[in-house]
Amino acid sequence: MEWFLKLDEQSQNFLKDFIMSSGSLKKLAQDYGVSYPTIRLWVNQLMHKIEAANQENSEFEGAILKMVAQGDLSISNAQEIMKKYQQN
């Protein structure tokens, strides 16, 4: 879950759309009005963002994510806390 929280809103929405299209890149290309190679590029970029997010997990971020998993903190509040933490 921590990788998802580290994604920007646009990437999160794209991932949601990808899931809702049952993983069909062809359908996503139609929905977004772009070519298949463009969607393929976006998926590759998203994969790199997820890989980077997985590698950046700190003890503080782990504690925040645990609070989200336990229902003690909303995802949007966790994202805001993490943004502010990363700015410092």
- Higher-pLDDT residue of 34 and 69 is 34
pLDDT tier at 12, thresholds 50, 70, 90: very high
Q: CA of 56: how far to CAs of 27, 28, 82, in Å?
A: 32, 29, 12
DSSP letter assigned to residue 33: T
The set of residues, in sequence order, having a beta carbon less than 8 Å from that of 2 and lying 6+ positions away, is: 53, 54, 57, 61, 62, 65
DSSP letter assigned to residue 7: S
Q: How far apart are CA 77 and CA 73, in angstroms?
A: 7
Structure tokens at 39: 């969607």
The fraction of the chain above a pLDDT of 70, given in percent, is 92
